[in-house]
Each structure stands twice: as C-alpha cells, then as structure tokens.
Amino acid sequence: MTLKDKRVLVVGGSSGIGFGAARAALADGAAVTIASRSQDRIDAALARLGAGAEGHVLDTTDEAGVEAFFAARPAFDHVVVSASKTKVAAVRELPLADAYGSMNSKFWGAYRIARAAKIAEGGSLTLVSGFLSQRPRKGAAIQSAINAAVEGLTRGLALEFAPVRVNCVSPGLVQTEMYDSLDDAARRTMYENAAARLPAGLVGTPDHIAVQIMAFITNPYITGSTVYVDGGGLIA
C-alpha cells in the first residue's frame, strides 16, 4: 500500500517524532499537512520538508480551534497525533495546575483531535504514548498515567471508529529537540548511558518511530494495537 496522492495530517509535525512521521509520509508520496502551536516552528519544518507539505497553526488544547480546523477541510486519509507539552515531577512536587495541563495537552489533546477529525473510510488515526505506561519510573507517575490513558483510548476508538483504524506507537527514549536544553556533554552522556542499558544498544531517533507509524498507516490489518518501539526498554 502506497501513500501516493493520500492526504496525511501530522499534529505535532514541526519537530521530533511528528516531523519524522511527516518526512516519511512525504517520501512515500503523500500530500502532508503539519500542524503545530508555533508558526515559526512550522516555517522551519516546511523549509526542511520541501515540496508537497503545508502547515497550519493548531493548538490541541483549544477545543473551538480544533473543531474549526477540521470543519474547514475535507477528510484526511490518515491522521497522526504526536503533539504534547507535559511537565514531569514527583506527585507531591508537581503543582496540580501542571499535572492538569499535562493531561490536557497530551491526553485531551489527542481526544479532541480524534473527536473532531474527519478521516476517510479505510483511513487511520495513529496516537503516540510512551513506554512509561508499562515501565513506570520514580518521579514520573503523571507521565505513566497519561501514556496509559492514551493507550486505553486507542483501543476504545478502534471499536468506535471502525472501519477507520486506530493504533498507538509507544516510544522509549528518542533523540529529539526535547533535550536541546541540556548542554552537549550532558546530552551525549545521557544517550550513551541509555544505549549501554538497552538490549538494542542504541537510543532511538524519530526515523525509528516513523517506521512503525508508517506500518500502522499502510497495513490495513492493524487496528487497536499499541506497539512499543523502545530499544528493549521494557525488558531492560
């Protein structure tokens, strides 16, 4: 199955995993739309993606804005949601406003997109969670809970939206702009230490995750599934 002439929307496509998915879909012949909160980031991403891609500002926490975005456009063949802005800390240290905001962004953001999106019959919706849903880490209970909620939502939507297929990719540590705030030495040390612990012997990249997203999009026999692309993090 090819994406030639298919319309693919990547919410969160201006950076990280979303950008990797957008680039992979574009390479397979799709007409790609990326959506992000920042026009500057959209412009920078479009310059890297080249012809065949367009971008629009979209805040997944803005219910009216999400509904208006989809109301103004024909159905997409495939929708990918990787957008999120979360804060992580121990439960008794994380302000409740930040916990609510994190859930609002990643879980309710995906929920709003799923609720409003027009997806063509035979199309797909792919969500992004994270392996902390299954492998909790001390001090990150909120992220574990959000990711588990996204995975549960995936299974329910796969039943509600059929024959549109709904799946979820759950990454481990991935080299993205999320870690750009670290200095080069600290970031390099973090990646090297993680790679030494992982059975795969390396840290993931957005392209590694995009391979699985493309499998979800192009394989008509996959729905209701969560696949952990984590370098073996679940068993390490």
For 159-207, the DSSP string reads HHHTTSEEEEEEE-SB-SGGGTTS-HHHHHHHHHHHHHHSTTSS-B-HH
In a domain, 234, yes or no: no
What CATH number corresponds to the domain at position 98?
3.40.50.720
Domain assignment of residue 61, given as a range: 7-176+205-228
Residue 222 has pLDDT above 90, yes or no: yes
Q: What is the pTM of this model?
A: 0.95
- Answer yes or no: is 106 within a domain: yes
Alpha-helical segments (H) within the chain: 16-27, 39-49, 63-71, 96-116, 141-161, 184-197, 206-218
Tally of domains within the chain: 1
Q: What is the pLDDT of residues 12-21, one digit of tens each?
A: 999 999 999 9
pLDDT of 181 over the 90 cut: no
Residue whose C-alpha is closest to residue 135's, from 231, 213, 21: 231
Q: Please, are residues 144 and 132 in contact by the beta-carbon 8 Å criterion?
A: yes
Is 137 contained in some domain? yes
Question: Is pLDDT above 90 for 179?
Answer: no
Tell me: cis bond preceding 206? Omega within 30 of 0 counts: no
pLDDT at 177: 87
Quick check: is 188 in a domain?
A: no
Question: Nearest-CA neighbor of 11 among 67, 77, 81?
Answer: 81
Structure tokens, 51: 């012809």
In this predicted structure, the answer to whether residue 132 has a pLDDT above a threshold of 90 is: yes
**Rounded-to-integer distance, Cα 233 and Cα 133, Å:** 12
